[in-house]
Amino acid sequence: MRTRRPRNGLPGSGKSTPARALGRELGWPVLSKDAIKETLADTLDRPGGVGEAEWSTALGRAAAESLWTLPATAGRGAVLESPWPAGAAPCAPGPLRRGRTMAGMGGGRATAGSRARVLARYRKRGGNFRACGIVQGSAMICGVKRLWLYTVIATIGMTGVAHAAEVPGVDVSNWTGEIDWAAVASGGGKFAFVHATEGTDYRSPSFEAQFSGAASAGLVRGAYHFAQPHESDGTAQADHFLRNGGNWMSDGQTLPGVLDLEDNPYKDTNGKNNCYDLSAADMVTWIKDFTKKYRAATGRHAIIYTTTSWWQTCTGNTTTFKSNPLWLARWGSEVGELPKGWKKHTFWQSAEKGTLAGGQNVFNGSESQLKSLANPPAEVRVGGRAVSRKSYTVTISNTGPHPVKDVKLTGRTFGGQRVVKAPGCTFSGTAVNCRIGELPLGRKKTFTITTRPSRSKGTVGLNVTVGSVKLVLKAR
């Protein structure tokens, strides 16, 4: 019989961010971005909401950890600057992957002059972050630009203590039994994780009923796989998961699949230790194999469920999986220390048994962000290089979960050269235009553009535009 062993999350201390330090120095409680935007909309009498930060300096006792601006209209090539470390998440609009905002903080008093000095000091922070833009509807284009802005906004008439947005949910398995999903929904539950598979030979007999029942009640739901790393490699177990309920669907109600990694519950029968007798290096390889297979099949990064203590012991506290959302298991009233590599958690299991059904969980964000995690935009990556003074390549890759249609590339040479060859494209003089009718999930298309320089020396190159991404390819 398969069952899930209790999670042994250990307490620890969270880490401070520059915005936390700012909040403490100003003595401000901190609100979520959504709460601040709603308040600004009400204060400024904007029924449609506010699209950009609007500053107030005289009144207010609230700050946001960070703020970024959404494009006003999708499909116009607007640039979106998202506070995600490069490589830490797939290209996505800010609200899709936004981390936990700070809980309300008290603090000492600060004079107007000292607040102004602190604001000036913290208004900009340097960093290495990903810039994304909109291309054709909801498709995203990721370029190479890196930018980070820590913005603090003061809002008018804000009083009291603010709390971080958290959305309640459950996790269930065959051992949970029959579930009244309508009661879960009416009790405030917004999402559910359902046990689907384990190892390479087990599928929960309750999975179909639980998975479809959660959806029928209006919950966002996802499947999880209980890892048995000693039984087979990660790829084989990912295959088993994908064939038996773990495959992601673009229906707006399905979360990315979960890889459940925790202490070996079968030590008495399989004789393995809590790390399944794998070394830290071998465990990291196993997880890579699983997550790589899942990403290739679905275009999504699998969620990783674990405890901080297990991760430290069995993976050596690796930072390899920053792109995978973290579902942290720690029973208690505080999240505590996170595994190294993650700056925030996406889900938190705080109790083995909750008030709704199964385990007690919260999503670290707003309900709209939860829905965005289930229904992300398309994602396209663009890269190019100057092979020589006469040859340039541009590669467009679909790295997201949806097929992408009607992607257009425009280019223009500089430095005194003409386009003489571009298979699959049209060209005339210094201009070249290429189009991809449809780019399926996981596929890429490379265009090779050949030119004829008018001189043998000096800088030449090609300016390329794909949606909101602009590349400058130079050669000497």
pLDDT in tens, 134-183: 333 333 444 432 222 222 233 223 333 334 568 999 999 999 988 999 99
What single string gives the DSSP state of each residue in 180-221? -HHHHHHTT--EEEEEEEETTTEE-TTHHHHHHHHHHTT-EE
Q: What is the pLDDT of residue 38?
A: 52
Report the candidate in 374, 370, 348 with the shortest Cα–Cα distance to residue 361.
Answer: 348
The tens digit of pLDDT for each residue in 394-413 reads 999 998 889 999 999 999 99
Q: What is the pLDDT of residue 283?
A: 98
Q: What is the pLDDT of residue 10?
A: 32
Domains and CATH numbers, the chain: 18-146 (no CATH), 167-374 (3.20.20.80), 380-475 (2.60.40.290)
Q: Measured in Å, how far apart are the chain's first and last C-alpha atoms? A: 67
The rounded distance, in Å, linking the Cα atoms of 108 and 118 is 14
The rounded distance, in Å, linking the Cα atoms of 411 and 408 is 10
263 annotated active-site: no
The rounded distance, in Å, linking the Cα atoms of 418 and 280 is 55
Q: What is the pLDDT of residue 456?
A: 86
What single string gives the DSSP state of each residue in 24-39? HHHT--B--HHHHHHH
Least confident of 104-113, 190-199, 341-350: 104-113
Q: What is the pLDDT of residue 132?
A: 35
Looking at the chain, the whole-number percentage of residues with pLDDT higher than 70 is 65
Find the mean pLDDT for residues 339-364: 93
Side chain identity at residue 355, one-letter code: T
Query: Strand ranges (DSSP E) for 364-403?
Result: 379-386, 391-398
The rounded distance, in Å, linking the Cα atoms of 71 and 77 is 8
Find the mean pLDDT for residues 180-197: 96
The rounded distance, in Å, linking the Cα atoms of 394 and 445 is 8
Using the CB atoms, write b or e for 217-238: b if 16+ within 10 Å: bebbbbbbbbbbbbebebbebb
Side chain identity at residue 440, one-letter code: P
Residues 6+ apart with CB under 8 A from 271: none
Report the candidate in 345, 401, 406 with the shortest Cα–Cα distance to residue 372.
Answer: 401
Catalytic residue of the set 25, 171, 263, 337 = 171
Side chain identity at residue 233, one-letter code: D
Find the mean pLDDT for residues 272-284: 97
Find the mean pLDDT for residues 75-91: 32
Decide if pLDDT at 255 tops 50: yes
The tens digit of pLDDT for each residue in 415-445 reads 999 999 999 999 999 999 999 999 998 899 9
DSSP state of 175: G
282 annotated active-site: no
Alpha-carbon distances, residue 286 vs 292, 314, 429 (angstroms): 10, 11, 52
Decide if pLDDT at 67 tops 70: no
Catalytic residue of the set 239, 260, 263, 379 = 260
Catalytic residue of the set 65, 239, 262, 337 = 262
260 annotated active-site: yes
What single string gives the DSSP state of each residue in 83-110? EEETTSS-S--HHHH--PPPPP------
Q: What is the pLDDT of residue 305?
A: 98
Average pLDDT value for the chain: 74
The rounded distance, in Å, linking the Cα atoms of 420 and 177 is 68
Q: What is the pLDDT of residue 164?
A: 55
Half-sphere exposure for 236 (CA within 13 Å, toward CB): 10
CA angle 319, 86, 408 (to 5 degrees): 140
The rounded distance, in Å, linking the Cα atoms of 423 and 162 is 58
Find the mean pLDDT for residues 57-81: 29
Asked if residue 7 lies in contact with residue 88, where contact means CB atoms within 8 angstroms, the answer is no
Radius of gyration of the chain (CA): 25
Pull the structure tokens for residue 267. Answer: 């030590």
